[in-house]
Amino acid sequence: NLTLEDAFLDANDGEECYLNKNHSSLGPALTLLGVSYEALNTAVTRVQFKAVDELVKKHLNSAQAVRAVQALIKGAYDSIFSLLVNRVNSSIVGSFEGRHSTAAFIGLLDIFGFESFDKNSFEQLCINYCNESLQ
């Protein structure tokens, strides 16, 4: 379970949080992501940005950290989807040379018609799946 929604413990009157080292989902999440506790905790409980010429670091509260984990999950799924699409395209075509190529390709056919994009994204697949599920 990568959501880790209830894996954050509040600190500093709820202004900050950190990952509970004893949470049952944390070990599997660390293994799947291939990172250390310290790296994941820093990545999802802090944000840094540049203000003028200064690098500012800010701690996130639990709700913000949950959203950071959700963004991490979305990025991971998008990367996996892109990897799969590239591998499928490579196996049926070799290297993909753009939409106007005469080589074979895989497209999605839904109730609204055929869609063909230069780059298929995981987000577009989710949108199509939701649209189909709602009909």
Amino acid 90: pLDDT: 78
Q: Which two tokens stand for residue 55?
A: 């690098």
pLDDT > 90 in the chain, percent? 46
Cα dihedral sign, 75-81-87-92: negative
Per-residue model confidence as pLDDT tens digits over 25-64: 999 999 999 999 999 999 999 999 999 899 999 999 999 9
- Give the global pTM: 0.70
Q: Residue range 1-15: average pLDDT?
A: 86
Amino acid 78: pLDDT: 84
Amino acid 8: pLDDT: 95
